[in-house]
Amino acid sequence: MNTFKNIIAGICAVLFVISGVVALLAFNIESKVFNSATYQQVFEKQNLYERMPEILANALHTSIAEDANANPYLKPLTVENWQATITSLLPPDEIKTLTDDAFDSVFNYLNGNADSAVISLLPFKRHLAGPAGMEVVKQILRAQPDCTAQQLLQLGLGLLGGDIGLCTPPKELIGLLSPLIESQLQVMTLTIPDEVTLISGAQEYSTADPRINLDRARALMKVTPFFPLAFLFGISIFAIRSLMDWLKWWGYPFLVTGALSSLMALIGASAFGLIVQRMLQNQGAGLMPPILFSTLQEIVSAVTSQILKPVVIEGMVLGILGLGMIVVAMYLAKKESS
C-alpha cells in the first residue's frame, strides 16, 4: 500500500515540476505583457520615445483624411509633414507624457477598462496655436515648390480658404502673409480633433471582438498557479507522514522547479521572444494600429527580458527554499543516525 502511495506521490511530484514551471512562466507573461508599465520601461531604457512623433503623425494624418469637415489646408499635409511638425513643437518631456498616456489607453482597452484607445492632441494644439506654430508653417511652406500664379491669387484672396496645394510664396510676401497665416492657423487649430482614436471599440465584446479570445487565454494563464498547488496537495496526502517526509517530498520538487524555471528564463529568452511575437501576431494585429503594432514587434526581445526577469528571481527563491529543505532533511537524517 505504501508503495502505491509513493508512486502516486512521485507522479504528483513530476506533475508539480512541469506545472510549476509553466505556471511561473504563464503567470508572469500574463501580468507583464498586458501591462503598459512594461513597455514604458522598455521605451525608457532604449530611448524609443523619439518614435512617438511617427506614431502620432500617422494617427493624425489618418484622422484628418477621414474627416470630411477638416480644414482644406490640413488635407495635403503628409505624414512626414506632421512628423516634422510634432517633433518641432513638442518638447521631449511632453512627447514622453503623450507616449505613456497612449500606452495606458491602449492597455486599458485591452484589459476591458475602456471602450476604445485614444491619444490626446491638446498639448500639440496648444503649441501649434502659438508662435512656434507660425515658424513650423513657414518651414513647411519653404519646403514646397514655388507657388504658381493661380496659387498666389488664392493666397491673396484668403490664405488656405479653399482647396489649394502647398507651395512656397516669394520671400518678399512671407512677411506680408504672416498676419493672415496666424489667423488661419487659429482656425485650423480648432478643426484639429482634441484626440485621435488608436483603437475603435464600437462593437464592445461582440462576437467579432478579438478581445474575447484574448481574455480566454489570459484567464487560463491566471489559473495556472492552482495546478502545482493541487499536485503539492496530492504529494502531502499520499507521502507525508513526518517532518522528514515533508522536507524531502517538498524540497526536491521545489529545487527542480526553481532551477528549471530560472534556467529556462536565462537561456530561453530568444525562444520566449518568438512566443510573445507570435502572440502579438495572432492577437495584437487586429487590436492595435499598424505603426504601434510594428513598434511593439521591434522591441519584443526587450519586452521578453522584462517579462522573464521576475521568473529568474522567483525561480531562484523557490530553488533556494527547496535546497534549504533538503539540507535540513539531510542534517536531521545524519543526526538521527549518529
Rounded Cα gap, residues 317 and 310, in angstroms: 10
Q: With 50 as the cut, is the pLDDT of residue 160 above it? A: no
More confident residue, 326 or 162: 326
Q: For residue 270, what pLDDT is reported?
A: 67
More confident residue, 140 or 252: 252
Rounded Cα gap, residues 83 and 55, in angstroms: 8
Ranges 11-20, 144-153, 283-292: which has the least confidence: 283-292
C-beta separation of 120 from 60 below 8 A: no
Instruction: Give the pLDDT band of residue 162 (cuts 50, 70, 90).
Output: very low
Q: With 60 as the cut, is the pLDDT of residue 158 above it? A: no
Q: For residue 297, what pLDDT is reported?
A: 62
Q: How many helices (H) and strands (E) does the chain have?
A: 15, 2
Instruction: Give the pLDDT band of residue 96 (cuts 50, 70, 90).
Output: confident
For the chain, give the mean pLDDT. Answer: 79
Q: With 80 as the cut, is the pLDDT of residue 326 above it? A: yes
More confident residue, 174 or 335: 335
Q: Three-state DSSP class for 173?
A: helix
Q: With 50 as the cut, is the pLDDT of residue 224 above it? A: yes
Instruction: Give the pLDDT band of residue 317 (cuts 50, 70, 90).
Output: very high
Q: With 90 as the cut, is the pLDDT of residue 198 above it? A: no
Q: How far is CA 336 from CA 189, 245, 246, in A?
A: 84, 14, 16
Residue at grid coordinates 503594432: 293
Instruction: Give the pLDDT band of residue 250 (cuts 50, 70, 90).
Output: very high
